[in-house]
Structure 1
Amino acid sequence: MLDFFLLNVTNLLIFVLVLPLIGTFLLLFIPSSNHSLLKSVALNVSCLLYVVSLFLWVFFNKSIGSFQFVSKLLWIPFLNFNFSLGVDGISLFFILLTTLLIFLCILISWTSVKSNIKEFLIAFLVMEFFLIGVFSILDLLLFYIFFESVLIPMYLIVGVWGSRERKIRAAYFFFLYTLLGSVLMLLSILYIYYQVGTTDYEVLLTFVFSTTEQKFLWLSFFGSFATKVPMVPVHLWLPEAHVEAPTAGSVILAGVLLKLGTYGFLRFSFPLFPEASLFFAPIVYLLSIVGIVYTSFTAIRQTDFKRIIAYTSVAHMNLVMVGLFSFNAVGLEGAILQSLSHGFVASALFLIIGIVYERHHTRMVKYYGGLVHTMPLYTFIFLFFTMSNIGLPGTGSFVGEFLILAGSFKTNTSATFISATGMIIGGCYSLWLFNRISYGNLKIQYLKDYIDINKREAFTFLPLIVGTLVIGLYPEVFLNSMHMSVNMLVEITHICKL
């Protein structure tokens, strides 16, 4: 009985990966006209997947830093390609964040999506499959395949279910920017396969590339990961994609897709090319602090509700990059924690935008005002996540930002100071935005029928509020599982420093 139980726990990650495909298969056999059944099946599958993924955390051994729930399947044996899965303290919470947000995306789209509902739900379940694969694959070539495959359902979500006439342009913008950034990465993977004879990640960890090889390989990977973060100057696709995407598309884009770049640095650039990572760290610091300050100032002059939050996402993700390249445990854990917190907070802010857009079909800030008089619960939730966005103590963003600044202070004091200045600017535009939307007089000449959030919308916000508070009040729950994996990563870079 015990052996059967342990076997099932070992195969838990495979079940988590395959379950979205099972849900997709079920949706294919349901008539497109049966909207209620389609939505119920997709919602129940995504909810079940989130619950099952929580067991990865329950059975996760915090005392070891190696990969757990490892499974290996033969793929192309004569070329030495294997389908390998595993999670560690770095990837665990990204999988949980993915399964939670996909569930919330389906729930928030219950009434807003009115055309091609079956295809919409299938696109999200397929994207969930690819995202879980990205965070659990232990083969470099397969990682690239899953990494780029995420673009396909996201491209369709923006291009087909986007909200305005520029959605096709935004979809092409998103697809081409992120795909072209990854071309050199594919060539580098082929070079690595030619040198090592395999793309198995655990084998690659034992192989040492020369300093020159590391620099060229690191730069090719950097082009792909920096576009996904995104870093200045390859950030232009993000505001455009956010503005045109439906609410659920913006939620998954800000909540998970922006984490693919930072995860790529953590998983591949640092351990495989540690010398090059240290060598190029000053350039990354420079691009990151420019991104923080530039996008923060740019957000102030925006008039579109969504575009403002999109630029804040760029600033926060560039702050995460500052923490990553501090190369110490404090900064790295702060960067991971801030990524998780940003997944909760940014997703909630885009949900907040989607609620008023669904009612009034405009995102121009000038048309809103005085919502506190007619939508008090909405305003309270908006205030909570505004405070979280600027790092109020007691919220997850405060803990993440504090750890990032504490870690980067040991490495580069000037970058830390400028990054902190960018956070102050962020507080200015966040509070100004909240003031313009919530206070003042109701602009009834533009908008009518102010309706506060309903039970379904309130339930959607509940896990995001709880997650933000848990990270802010008791971050050790998350940090305990990260410590060993992060320490192993830090040891690699410290050896290179010596």
Structure 2
Amino acid sequence: MVALSSLIWCPVLLGILSWLAERRLRGAGNWVTLGALVLLLFVSFYLGAMGDSFVSLSWFSRFNIHFTLFYDGLAQLMVVMTLLLAMLALLVSWREIDRRHGFFHFNLMFSVAGINGVFLAADLFLFFLCWEAMLLPMTALILIWGHENRRYAAIKFFIFTQVSGLLMLLSIIALALFHQHSQGSLSFSLNELQYLDLPIDVQFWLMLGFFIAFAVKLPSVPFHTWLPDAHTQAPTAGSVLLAGILLKTGAYGLIRVLLPLFPEAAMSFAPVAVTLGVISIVYGALMAFSQTDFKRLVAYSSISHMGFILLALFSWQAIALQGAVLVMVAHGISSAGLFCVAGMLQHRLQSRELGEMGGLWASAPRMATVTLVFVMAGIGLPGLANFNGEFLSLLGSFAVYPLHAVAATLAIVGSALYGLRLFQRTFQGPVHTEVEDLQGRELLFCGLLVLALVYFGVQPHLILEASAASLDKLSALASFSEVRP
């Protein structure tokens, strides 16, 4: 119980400790936060070695709300990725943050606590609470440490997430009331609510409340407009957390909450969802190609890649579901790497404009090399992690939605165009300026990201085995819903 719940409350307490340590000694917050993340990583591996864990304590007994946590292979996969990318966010901002260092560390750890809560919660009230909790520190990261238009970006991010979250809250309350009507008591338990026998029209409207909340966070067209602004204006640490982790909470919500709760409604809505997925793939690629801002280009590419997850999940084929999980992990690594490069270039050049770059390979060959690997991963080069996810997503979805899968496949050409254009305009061509190459700490975390992309490119079974049990339940649920009269 203590070990599992510590993944939520420990980041908050250790974030406060980092804040206090930074006030006493400049730079101490970096080391306290790093140590805290390493400690939490060991806890997550310990829990994984113990097998599936389930904890439930009465919380608001009057409303039958419980502090319920569930830790299985899929949850472990997401928690470990959260902690590792939080370390990356810390390392890339080790010297970048120039004010209010202690408060920055607190917000970073508070974000980790909220995100871990989303991945662990098995009570919908707790899920919603953590969903909202991770919004506040992320808004603060953009608002306080962001760039020139940070206020606009932070407010837009907050409004989009808050409004969509309220729609999810209404659906949660309605589910609890339906449970009371049919069973005689309120319930927010994800496990108990899965057995509610709801009319299909009621399922559809409640499912829609969850879908909008998750599609905003994913994000999917037409709920995507907050993302380019938030990414562009966020500090590098904020961009790493947004692209690497926060977007994945939307995908995780679809897997863990929406599809199990509303299988029949999800199947009837699937043609719309997969169409939105393909539109996101194509639109994101086209918009990425038209950008001249490094971070904005990578932000639109994230919209395109997240479209594969929507396409795969609502195809509801076993192979496609596996592809969706692989895309979640691979995109978290490759996009985080590209945002790290964008942040390092902005720190050196005081600019994100591609027109002010060019020929940087001559002065920064190590940076150019790792960027090339990140770009190649993004465009789906075989042998790197992204290829496995996109290939399985397309292979599985083709069996159900062949035209959508073909359109998505053709759109991959767009990723090659904007990815190679990004690399060419930044590192090749006439030399416009010179920059310092990767040194020490930067070379370490960029090298680890490259190794991760290669390793999971040739060993994807490690990710698939971790998520197998959860995905098997979804596949079985889909088969049951198809034959149900």
- Per the TM superposition, whether the score is higher than 0.5 is yes
Q: Structure 2 vs 1, CA of residues 243 and 28 (structure 1 numbering), >3 Å: closer, same or farther?
A: closer
Aligned length: 477
In 2, Cα distance between equivalents of 1:378 and 1:58:
37
Equivalent residue for 2:236?
247
Identity %: 34
Aligned counterpart for 1:461 among listed residues 421, 425, 446 = 446
Matching residue within 17, 28, 37 for 2:8: 17
Aligned residue type for 2:437: D
Find 2:324's aligned residue among 318, 321, 335.
335
**Structure 2 residue matching 1:325: 3-state secondary structure:** helix
Partner of 2:37: 46
**Match of residue 223 from structure 1:** 212
Matched, 1:300 2:283: no
Q: Return the alpha-carbon distance in structure 2 between the equivalents of residues 118 and 78 of structure 1.
A: 39
Of stretches 51-60 and 289-298 in structure 1, the one that deviates more from structure 2 is 51-60
Q: Structure 1, residues 3-25: CA drift from partner, whole Å, max 9, x if none? A: xxxxxxx6432232332123123
The alignment partner of 1:84 has SS state of strand
Q: 1:470 matched to which residue of 2?
A: 455
Q: Could you list the per-position Cα deviations for residues 114-154 of structure 1 after superposition, in whole angstroms to 9, with x for gaps in the alignment?
A: 10000000000011011100000100111011111111001
CA distance in 1, matches of 2:320, 2:384: 18
- Runs of 4+ with >3 A deviation: 56-60
Structural RMSD (CA): 1.3
Pairing 1:392–2:377 present: no
Name the aligned partner's letter for residue 472 of structure 1: G
Alignment of 1:336-485 (within 5 A): 336-444=325-433, 448=434, 450-485=435-470
Cα displacement (A) at 1:216: 0.9
Q: Is structure 2 residue 221 aligned with structure 1 residue 232?
A: yes
Unaligned residue ranges in structure 2 (runs of 5+): 180-185
Partner residue of 2:21 out of 30, 36, 60: 30
Alignment of 1:178-189 (within 5 A): 178-189=161-172
Contact between 2:19 and 2:105, CA under 8 Å: does it hold in 1?
Answer: no
Amino acid at match of 1:341: A
Residue type matched to 1:474 in 2?
Q
- Going from structure 1 to structure 2, the CA distance change for 1:80 and 1:33 (only over 3 Å counts) comes to same
State the SS of the aligned residue for 1:86.
strand
Unaligned runs of 5+ in 1: 1-9, 61-67
Judge conservation of contact 1:211–1:276 (CA < 8 Å) in 2.
Answer: yes
Give the drift of 1:77.
1.6
Deviation at 1:337, TM superposition (A): 0.9
What's the TM-score once normalised by structure 1's chain length?
Answer: 0.93
Tell me if the contact between 1:329 and 1:487 (Cα under 8 Å) persists in the aligned partners: yes
> 1:55 is matched with which residue?
46
> Of 177, 180, 183, which aligns to 1:194?
177
Q: What is the TM-score of this pair, normalised by structure 2? A: 0.96
3-state SS in 1 of match to 2:315: coil
Task: Give, as a single letter, the amino acid of the residue that structure 1 aligns with 2:176.
Answer: Y
Partner Cα separation in structure 1 for residue 478 and residue 111 of structure 2: 33
Whether the 8 Å contact between 2:19 and 2:29 is mirrored in structure 1 is: no
Q: How has the CA–CA distance of structure 1 residues 359 and 31 changed in structure 2, closer, same or farther, with 3 Å as cutoff?
A: closer
What CA distance in whole angstroms lies between the structure 2 residues aligned with 1:413 and 1:31? 55
**Is 1:172 paired with 2:162?**
no
**Correspondence 1:156 to 2:140:** yes
Deviations 1:298-323 (A, max 9, x none): 11111101110000000000111111
**Aligned residue identity for 1:84:** T
Take 2:103 and 2:481, find their aligned partners in 1: how far apart are those partners? 49
In the alignment, what sits opposite 1:203? Answer: 192
Question: In structure 2, how many angstroms separate the alpha carbons of the residues matched to 1:361 and 1:58?
Answer: 46
| Structure 1 counterpart SS, 2:316 | coil
Query: In 1, distance between residues paired with 2:45 and 2:407?
Result: 38
